[in-house]
Structure 1
Amino acid sequence: MDLLFYCRGGYEADLLAELEQALGQKGLFGYAKMSKNSAFLRYCLPQHNAQPYSLESLKAINEQVPTLEKLVFARQKLHVLADIEFDSEDRISTLLKMFDAHALPMFSDVFVEYPDSEEGKQLAKFCKKFTVPLRNKLRQQGHLHKKPSNNQPFLHLFFQQSGKCIVAISIVNDRSLHHLGIQRLKMPSAAPSRSTLKLEEAIHLFFNERQASALFSQGMRAADLGACPGGWTYQLIQRKIVVEAVDHGEIAENLMATGLVEYYSQDGFLYKPQHSNVDWLVCDMIEQPTRVSELMLQWLETGKANACIFNLKLPMNKRHKVVAPILSRLEKALNDRFSEIVIKAKHLYHNRDEISVLIIVNTQMISSYKENKR
């Protein structure tokens, strides 16, 4: 049984280290097939090598391996069904033969994908052209539902070259719904910096629409440490949240004109909230990750913040080795202090050498988060 993961190019080793640690804790061991900067990782679990696979057996295996949500460095998680090499230009007929040979379920949709690497991007045009005729043919043959649904499995064709692909399946509630596992966002014209996309993507990833609407609402207060020129502040005021913007730099004038921004020219590590506490603390300061994480922990433990989203800057190598103990320290300290917490971390598409972390400790906010989960 092989698993296929997508990631940012250059982070394959970090994803492997993270995956092996998580699998080892469950007594599962295997081996990886990967290369540096390939932007994907294939992992074989010899314990589960029975063929052919049923959807039920795939779901059973999936429950034993880490979820995509738990893997910081993975963008997508798939189960490999077959490897196909095309000996003619009629790729669709070759794929249909695979359907005839295996008892595959009906799929909700098909994604024709490629590595998010310079080499992979050369396949983008081919994959885009191939998707529509393939989707139409699969529907004609009864292999795809007429309308896509997030409650059904997706079929994925992952091309490394035009004559060769990995056929895989993604499991409901344990996958990214986006092509290549990447949520594309449009840069807002009024935002003062592209860093705004980091917080926007984090909110989209960590919350569904109902959760985001409930947890980022008018009347809330937030503190943005290292705010200037205001990329993250922009996302908060779009949600009608009053922001205490803290930085020695300058906040964009159009943000100040909204009346929702209170500017404080102070050191983010020394700042205290104006009204004893805030609903949200956000931080994208360029600082050592341990120093930032300890600052976030202090705000949460002392009640100065109910929840936070922050970025941890990473070293050039062995990022998992740096990140894992920091996340473990945060989780343990907060579990010792609070009856319940929400903590998530992800290497986002709009991040570079950094990860984004969400933590909620406020009881009411956690209840709202859970109530609006579905």
Structure 2
Amino acid sequence: MNLLLLCRPGFEPETAAEIADWAARREIAGYPQAERGSGWVRFHDLAAQQENTGADPEEEAGRNTARPALPPRNLIFARQCVRVLADLPQLDPSDRLTPMLAALADTPWRPFGSLIVEHPDSDAARPLAGLARSFGNALRPALRKAGLLSASEDLQQPCLHLCFFSGTHAVLGVSQPRGERIWPQGIPRLRLPKEAPSRSAQKLEEAFQILLRPDEREQWLKPGMSAVDLGAAPGGWSWILTRHHIHVTAIDNGPLADSLLATGLVRHLRADGFSWQPTQPVDWMVCDMVEQPRRVAARMAEWFAHGWCRRAVFNLKLPMKKRHAEVQANLADFHAHCAEAGVAVQTRARQLYHDREEITVLAWS
């Protein structure tokens, strides 16, 4: 399958390496196409191209009666990953709608449950935001009239994506149903309240939105739960936990914001996050310490090995080079340490919008 992946500008090589590894493990012959700073990567499936080049029209129509496979959801560096349905490089600005409807006429996914109109998150593409917003308002009723979009939003059905690269070039694609809203560009729109101790609070809030399913957020973030925040100062991550009415033990030799202590849900202990140990297990451990990623991964594994926490969110800082390889090595080390202790731990990881040179990992036992 041909894929379009949207990512943080500058991380196209990591996204390309990750999708190439994914394809190789599934014996999909193809190659990634990336342009530094563009915010996108294309994966070209050679088998799909050969089929499209020499396909018999009747055989092709027969294949369209069943839904083909959809792209993966568990990539780390890709914020959005869609299966390409049509590449439209020569759109007429006076009538973009007609060729799009024609390209979707025989799609096996009709009707789609929702529509996302987006553009890459790059300096060059940001001026397309107005076009994406206005064109989406025109496209939705046209899709519904053609029977291509459900009458109301259905988050259990595949999502149709329209990604503008310019005013005359767009790609139509489809992504897996998630049972929850999908954000344009894969970026949740979060507001930082003025009382938040730091902007890092948005990292944990985004992690809960992206890495947890709706049912998990409901079950795993309940009032009265307990948490430890390693390297807490000035308290952004602890503050997010208190917003869920979770009791927090904040571990840091530095000071915490007065607004955080005023919640009455935080106990501050001046200690080193790499040596402090809890006296009893907690529901959550979170960590955003600036340290070598392998050391952080080993410390996180120690928490699970000793049964000190049930779930964790932590950040792994990235090196300047070979970042994809380093991420894979760090996660492999984390799982290996847990396995040595006889603890089965599952993980999800993503480079979030509010991350910079790091990734965020969710782990649970």
User: TM-score, structure 2 length as denominator?
Assistant: 0.91
Is 1:321 paired with 2:331? no
1:331 aligned residue: 335
Give matches, 1:238-317, under 5 Å.
238-273=243-278, 275-317=279-321
Gaps of 5+ in 1: 362-374
| C-alpha displacement of 1:176 | 7.4
Q: Counterpart of 2:124 in 1: which secondary structure?
A: helix
Q: Distance in 2 between matches of 1:166 and 1:98?
A: 10
| C-alpha displacement of 1:323 | 0.8
Q: Percent identity?
A: 36
2:189 aligned residue: 184
Give matches, 1:206-221, under 5 Å.
206-221=211-226
1:149 aligned residue: 154
Is 1:138 paired with 2:143? yes
Amino acid at match of 1:321: A
Match of 1:164 among 157, 161, 169: 169
Is 1:340 paired with 2:344? yes
Equivalent pair of 1:343/1:358 in contact (CA under 8 Å): yes
- Going from structure 1 to structure 2, the CA distance change for 1:98 and 1:20 (only over 3 Å counts) comes to closer
Equivalent pair of 1:112/1:127 in contact (CA under 8 Å): yes
2:40 aligned residue: 40
Equivalent pair of 2:298/2:333 in contact (CA under 8 Å): no
- Going from structure 1 to structure 2, the CA distance change for 1:40 and 1:175 (only over 3 Å counts) comes to farther
Equivalent pair of 1:68/1:175 in contact (CA under 8 Å): no
RMSD, aligned CA: 2.1
Q: Counterpart of 1:122 in 2: which secondary structure?
A: helix
- Going from structure 1 to structure 2, the CA distance change for 1:101 and 1:303 (only over 3 Å counts) comes to closer
Equivalent pair of 2:291/2:317 in contact (CA under 8 Å): yes
Q: Distance in 2 between matches of 1:176 and 1:137?
A: 21
1:11 aligned residue: 11
Q: Distance in 1 between matches of 2:236 and 2:93?
A: 50
2:55 aligned residue: none
Q: Counterpart of 2:104 in 1: which secondary structure?
A: helix
User: TM-score, structure 1 length as denominator?
Assistant: 0.89
1:113 aligned residue: 118
Q: Counterpart of 2:78 in 1: which secondary structure?
A: coil
Amino acid at match of 2:152: K
| C-alpha displacement of 1:314 | 0.8
Equivalent pair of 2:238/2:248 in contact (CA under 8 Å): yes
Q: Distance in 1 between matches of 2:259 and 2:65?
A: 53
Match of 2:234 among 229, 238, 242: 229
Is 1:90 paired with 2:90? no
Q: Counterpart of 1:117 in 2: which secondary structure?
A: coil
- Going from structure 1 to structure 2, the CA distance change for 1:48 and 1:88 (only over 3 Å counts) comes to same
Q: Counterpart of 2:87 in 1: which secondary structure?
A: strand
Deviations 1:215-264 (A, max 9, x none): 12233221111101110000111222221111121111121122211111
